[in-house]
Amino acid sequence: MTQAKREGMLDKEKSSRPVSSLFDLDEEAWLRNKSVHLVSKGAMRSWVARDPDTSLLVLLPDQRQVRDFAADCEALGTIKKVTELPEMPLTEDISRSEALKVQRGGILEHFRIYGGTLAATPASLLAPFSVGGDHFEMEQGSSYPREILLDWLAQKGYERSELVWSPGQFVSRGSIIDIFSPSDPYPVRLEFFDDEIESIRFFDPETQKSLRTINKCSFKSLISKKETELEKYLPNDMRVIFFDPKGLDMTAENSVWLWQNLERDTQNAVPWKKWEELCVFFTKYKRIRVTRDATNTSFRLAVKQFPLFRGRLRDVEHYCEDLAREGISVEVFSESKQNLSWAESRGYPAVKGVLSEGFVDTLAQKAVLTDLELSGVSLSRRRTEVIAPSDWGAGLLPGQWVVHDDYGVSRYLGPQTIETDEGEEEYLVLEFAEERRLLIPVLHFYKISPWTPLQGQEPLPDNLKGTQWKKASAKAKEMAEKAAKELISIYAARELTKGHSFPPNRELMKELEDGFVYTETSDQLKAIRDVENDMERPVPMDRLVVGDVGFGKTEVAIRAAGKAVFGGKQVAIMAPTTLLAQQHYETFSARFGRLPVRVEVVSRFVPISGQKKILEDLKDGKVDIIIGTHRLLSDDVLFKDLGLVVVDEEHRFGVMHKEHLKRMTPGVDVLMLSATPIPRSLSLSISGLRDISLLQTPPQRRLPVLTVVRPWSEELLKSAVLREKNRGGQVFFVHNRINDIHERTVMLKRLFPKLTIAVAHSRTPEAQLENTMMKFSLGEIDILVCTTIVESGLDIPMANTLIVDDAHELGLAQMYQLRGRVGRREEQAYAFLFYPNDVRLSVEASERLEAIAELDELGAGYSLAQRDLQIRGGGDLIGIAQHGNSTRVGYQKYCDLLADEIARIKGTKRKEAEVEIGFPAAIPGNYIPQENLRVTLYRRMLKTDTPEEALALKYETTDRYGKLPPVLEFLMDLTYVRSAAPDLQITKILCGSHETVIQGDPDGGWTDLDLRQPWIRWINGFVGPGGYAGICTLAELIRGKIG
């Protein structure tokens, strides 16, 4: 036997033996850059890279995988600290780019000096970085002239902005200076007293609220620095791990293409390295390649995936018992109380935390279970990169059309400050007909509401001298009174219908609640309470839950279903599409998996024989929850004891379907779920005549979908897809014509030959469609070319770019629902709505595209339906047509009148206190220099309804802008007193320079206020000191009384 043959056999014997860690491989394998087989990505990557013996550079294809690797290492404790190298944004924002270059340079300098583990993508290594530059250091209690600091920031490349949220920005407001240095994890808020620093604290760039105080801070220059070679900043003793080499090569190629498509000036300013040159440079280091492709690999790792349990706990238990027989220990990582208590009950070590995926290491005899295996849910982690803050309340924009309650339609021109003998007073300027202007004082800002007219239907401003507005208002009020009386009589009849009263929640319900792995939003909790209260009443529930896509409507339905089933009744869940019905089946099965509840689905994915058996069992009461499409309305679907019907995406079902449902289920509780409810439903809901729960609070760190409406552009399409692929995501490509959908697929395969592309539409065979959607949900397909079959409810967390072809042919609700398929986790999502270059759009199509582009904020579904109401009208409200008068006052105003009238008849109308201020009270311009922010703060104070909201607003304002000036302290105290007034039966608050007067109902709560000298009691109120002092004393006393 020759020496070469003997060495080859030894190599083969070595490679056939699996290893548990990459560092168990011999040095020769690292020196020769061998390939190692690992079956999956996820947490097993962090496990096999555990306990490195030197500095380590880990290369991964995209930022999502970098984040997962770092977080998994921290959770498992495999590597003490993993530093992430951020990518340069593909943007022409020069100041932000400079700040990120400095930040990246600081990370690489630290890596060169101190070593450790650095996780990076090809794009983050190829982009430039900067080192060097001077610092500006500050310490609490020390004195620094603010002008010197502000001049230094401006000279060193920092950008002045209204809100600080990105590295390299600063702003000065009153006694506050906010700065985001690239060397800090969070922006810093400095609070001064004259030139002395009273406080230094980090704040959250998203909420703008303070996080914690610090004693010292340092700001890094963005200018006095040099760009340098990456190679000089890598430690000599470093090892390199290439995870997914093919993916790394594709990401590098895509990144270069994207960069070259930016402006040429930007390219010249920021040159990029070549990936091939960098790979050649890495040959001097010990390195290893880890791939999922088993062919041509020299070694394999003894780590495997768990089977796809999808929350089926019994299967998990059997599998863990088999592992125990093999001597393999099990550890559980979960955020769910239920999963953690399950682990403890079985003697498994349990850790509260998120891990991307479970695994089994047969060599180390260790298995790790996560929420993915136990609950069928993959939890997203808190995103580390900074994001732009949400708007601080709802502002008014100059030039916007508004409606004033007393004077009608006008154009808002902006705020104006006027000097008086007693001081400055701020007004809003409205322009009416004949260019006549009206100044609206601060206390009347609440009378102004924005009005968005339809394109091509610009309103005419009202005439201040005319009577048209008064007549229209009177007519609208008369119509509202008539409508209210008729509507109340109809809904009163419903209250007399006998329904089933479900018992209060018991132990099984607690178990179901504990199985929810997310934290409920406040709106979600309120909606759940509303539904449970409805179900416990002896009157049939008829509730509409309106929540934006991904805001948690399904969990509300799960809790309602649980209450019904645990109360001995059956539940029907109706969805508009087969795909959504299937997804609901998987979700409900996972949530009820460990409870004595049988969940079934009838859809075209289930064979006819299977459907027949399910329906027989349903009739016999053996099925607790049945899920299906319109199929559930068929005559052969019979229940033994139906107690609850849930209709998802209710706007997709016609009036006839809903009427048939009500006839079929007399006295049964009905729960409707929708993101974009049909106008009639919404108009009734607005009016308080149908029970409605609004889910308007986005889940933590959810971002609005950025929407682009453009003529067809192949280059923009390519850019959108490659950007998504580069960050580890997937793409929906919607083409709503089956006859030529394959031609579009061929075009996409030409543009993206290296991506995996699949097709899904209503004529796709059942087995193929189910298989395609399964692969897409598992991340095995890059682009799904589909019709609007995906419109409803599908939840694919990694799909964060939507491309719609021929978007002009779709309806507003359709486009909105499609857009809801992306952005369902924490990633920034994008929607590109294309229309053909050679097509002249109709007015209606232009309006639809304009509306969907405008309404891109979170929770826009409800606003979209209101816009739809405006476009189409609310239907004939119980035979009362909305004539020109309701159109003249604006539909929103008409609905407000109707809601007020209903509340008055029901006796639920809240009696607000009348407030007057007899002296100027304006927010100083040097405290909040931005006019729009001052106007927003006035409006927020006037719209505050409860004392708790008033205190929260005061705290938030103080935190963001510094110590309140006396006049704003007075306005905040007045806000608090006004919001507490209805509960104390105070009807009037008069603030004068010399005295403050409060009046109230006889025997109201105000009579118990312990107001002492100099306050004087009189017949129906109190008189006390004027100016700011009187309201300040009153606010303190009320705070003490109500706590």
Query: How far is Cα 23 from Cα 75, in angstroms, rounded to an integer?
Result: 20
Strand order in the sheet with 286-291: 82-84, 117-120, 56-59, 239-243, 286-291, 35-37, 299-300
Instruction: Kindly report, residue by residue over 369-428, the tens digit of the pLDDT.
Output: 998 888 877 666 555 445 555 544 456 778 878 888 889 889 888 888 888 777 778 888
Q: What is the pLDDT of residues 861-895, one digit of tens each?
A: 545 555 555 544 444 333 333 333 445 666 666 66
- Residue 582's domain comprises 507-691
Q: Decide the pairing of beta strands 642-647 and 570-574.
A: parallel
Q: In the numeric block, which tokens belong to residue 476?
A: 């609208």
Shared domain check, 663 and 515: yes
Distances (CA, A) of 727 to 44, 66, 722, 937: 20, 10, 9, 38
**C-alpha span between 496 and 484 (Å, rounded):** 19
Q: What is the domain count for the chain?
A: 7
- Are 904 and 945 within 8 A, CB to CB? no
**CA-based nearest residue to 88, from 123, 64, 118:** 123
- Indicate the SS3 state at residue 526: helix
Residue of higher predicted confidence among 737 and 92: 737
DSSP summary character for residue 370: -
| Residues 236-269: tens digit of each pLDDT | 889 999 999 998 998 888 888 877 776 544 544 5
From the CB of residue 754, how many other CB atoms can be counted at a distance below 10 Å? 12
Residues 668 and 565 in one domain: yes
- Can you say whether residue 354 is alpha, beta or left, with left for phi > 0 and alpha for psi between -120 and 50 degrees? beta
Which pLDDT value is given to residue 103?
Answer: 85
Phi, psi dihedrals of residue 347, rounded to the nearest 5°:
80, 15
> Is the pLDDT at 721 greater than 80, yes or no?
yes
454 residue type, one letter: L
982 versus 486: the higher-pLDDT residue is 982
What does the pLDDT average to over 561-580? 91
Same domain (yes/no): 209, 242 = no
Residue 22 falls in which region: left (phi positive, over 0), alpha (psi -120 to 50) or beta: alpha
Range 107-129 average pLDDT: 90
> What's the mean pLDDT when you consider all of the chain?
81
**Bridge-based pairing state of the strands 599-602 and 642-647:** unpaired
Shared domain check, 144 and 115: no
* Of 36, 21, 29, the residue nearest 300 (C-alpha): 36
The answer to whether 202 and 214 are in contact (CB under 8 A) is yes
Same domain, 319 and 408: no
Query: Average pLDDT in the 551-575 region?
Result: 93
Same domain for 756 and 835: yes
SS3 861: helix
Does 277 score more than 90 pLDDT? no
**813 contacts 867 by C-beta, under 8 angstroms:** no
Cα gap 721→801, rounded to integer Å: 7
The predicted structure's pLDDT at residue 559: 96
Asked whether residue 208 carries a pLDDT value surpassing 70, the answer given is: yes
What is the CATH classification number for the domain harbouring 55? 3.40.50.11180
* Mean per-residue pLDDT, 327-351: 90
Distance CA 617, CA 445 (A): 61
Q: What's residue 703's pLDDT?
A: 65
Residue 701 inside a domain? The answer is no
Mean predicted confidence (pLDDT) in 518-535: 89
Which residues have C-beta within 8 Å of that of residue 71, sequence separation ≥ 6?
354, 356, 381
Is the pLDDT confidence value at 699 over 80?
no
Helix/strand/coil for 845:
helix
Residue 803, strand partner residues: 733, 832
Q: Residue 555: what residue type?
A: E
SS3 166: coil
Using the 3D structure, point to which of 322, 357, 375 is the last residue of a domain. 375
Q: Is the pLDDT of residue 160 over 90?
A: no
CA 104 to chain centre: 28
- 388 located within any domain: no
Specify the pLDDT at position 617.
96
- What value does the mean pLDDT take over residues 452-473? 76
User: Do both 940 and 893 map to the same domain?
Assistant: no
- First vs last Cα of the chain: how many Å apart? 92
Biggest distance spanned by C-alpha atoms of the chain: 117
157 close to 223: Cβ distance less than 8 angstroms: yes
Q: What is the predicted pLDDT for the residue at 876?
A: 38
**Do both 214 and 232 map to the same domain?**
no
732, 801 Cβ separation under 8 angstroms = yes
Using alpha carbons, list the distances in angstroms from residue 248 to 121, 577, 661. Answer: 8, 38, 54
Is residue 214 located within the same domain as residue 233? no
Of 237, 272, 300, the last residue of a domain is 300
CB 941 within 8 A of CB 971: yes
Residue 864, in any domain of the structure: no
**Token digits for 618?**
């349903």
Last residue of a domain, one of 186, 205, 224: 224
Q: The CATH number of the domain where 944 resides is what?
A: 3.90.1150.50
Lowest mean pLDDT among 48-62, 803-817, 978-992, 1003-1017: 803-817
Decide if pLDDT at 791 tops 70: no
Structure tokens at 525: 């909790």
Whether residue 351 is found in the same domain as residue 442? no
Report the relative pairing of strands 196-203 and 159-160 from DSSP bridges. Answer: unpaired
pLDDT band at 611 (very low <50, low <70, confident <90, very high): very high
pLDDT at 842: 67
**Would 270 be classed as within a structural domain?**
yes
Of 861, 868, 820, residue with least CA distance to 680: 868
pLDDT band at 719 (very low <50, low <70, confident <90, very high): confident
Residue 862 maps to a domain: no
Amino acid at 76: L
Residue 487 lies in a domain: yes
CATH number at residue 592: 3.40.50.300
* Residue-wise pLDDT tens digits, 184-198: 889 999 999 888 999
Q: What DSSP letter does each residue of 940-1009 carry, written as one string? A: HHHH--SHHHHHHHHHHHHHHH-SPPHHHHHHHHHHHHHHHHHHHTEEEEEE-SSEEEEEE-TT-GGGG-
pLDDT digits (tens, 9 = 90+) for 483-493: 777 767 766 66
Sheet holding 303-304, edge to edge: 303-304, 359-361, 366-369, 329-334, 350-352
Please give the average per-residue pLDDT across 943-968, as a whole number: 89
880 strand-pairing partners: 877
Strands 117-120 vs 56-59: parallel, antiparallel or unpaired: parallel
Q: Is 393 helix (H, G, I), strand (E, B) or coil?
A: coil
Residue 450 has pLDDT above 90, yes or no: no
List the beta strands (DSSP E) in 32-103: 35-37, 56-59, 82-84
Is the pLDDT score of 960 beyond 70? yes
H/E segment holding residue 135:
strand 135-139
Distance CA 523, CA 648 (A): 18
Do 672 and 567 share a structural domain? yes
Claim to verify: residue 1032 and residue 996 sit in the same structural domain: yes
pLDDT greater than 80 at residue 226: no
187 or 96: whose pLDDT is higher? Answer: 187
| Contact between residue 561 and residue 571 where contact means Cβ atoms under 8 Å apart | yes
* Residue 278 within any structural domain of the chain: yes
Give the tens place of pLDDT for each residue, 645-695. Answer: 999 876 666 656 666 666 666 778 989 888 654 444 445 555 556 677 878
Among residues of the chain, what percentage have pLDDT more than 70? 81
CB 382 within 8 A of CB 353: no
Q: CB neighbours of 703 closer than 8 A, spacing ≥ 6?
A: 387, 823, 826, 827, 828, 829, 858
**Nearest by Cα to 618 from 629, 609, 608, 627:** 627
- Structure-token pair, residue 1000: 């109230």
The arithmetic mean of pLDDT across residues 973-985, rounded, is 91
Count other C-beta atoms under 10 Å from residue 264's C-beta: 8
φ/ψ (deg, to 5) at 240: -125, 130
Classify residue 434: in a domain, yes or no: yes
Cis amide prior to 1014 (ω within 30 degrees) = yes
337 by Cβ neighbours in 10 Å (0-12 / 13-18 / 19+) ranks as: middle
Q: For residues 631 and 610, what is the distance between their CA atoms, to the nearest angstrom?
A: 14
pLDDT of 787 > 90? The answer is no
Residue 248, pLDDT score: 92
